[in-house]
Amino acid sequence: MSEVTIYHNPRCSKSRQTLYLLEQQGIQPQVHLYLRDALSAATIKQLLRQLGFASARELVRSKEALFSELGLGADSSEQQLIAAMVAHPQLIERPIVVVGQRAKLGRPPEAVLELLS
């Protein structure tokens, strides 16, 4: 199996549950603490492709207060959304698990299991 990476926020219950689920499967993933080590725009674009998302809107946490505080909304461009996620990584939906060239959001945590088969 390819290396497994989780983009993890230890304060998020879904992220903790997803990490625990991977460990229960005997997998010790590479843990990327994206709030501490922010992602580049190129990495976010790559994750969007791996997730199969057509738009950055699918990866941004639009219900976060910061989203509206930054003046972001339905009319925000891809570039604006990606730039916001680079500058404010708390706007990135989590957790993201990557195996090879595929990725899944751990919402629900069990969704990542299909990457393991």
Closest Cα partner for 103 from 91, 92, 112, 90? 112
User: Using CA atoms, how far apart are residues 44 and 115, in angstroms rounded to an integer?
Assistant: 19
Q: Given 5, 12, 16, 107, which residue is catalytic?
A: 12
Is 72 marked active-site? no
The most distant pair of C-alpha atoms in the chain lies apart, rounded to whole Å, by 43
Among all residues, which ones are annotated catalytic? 12
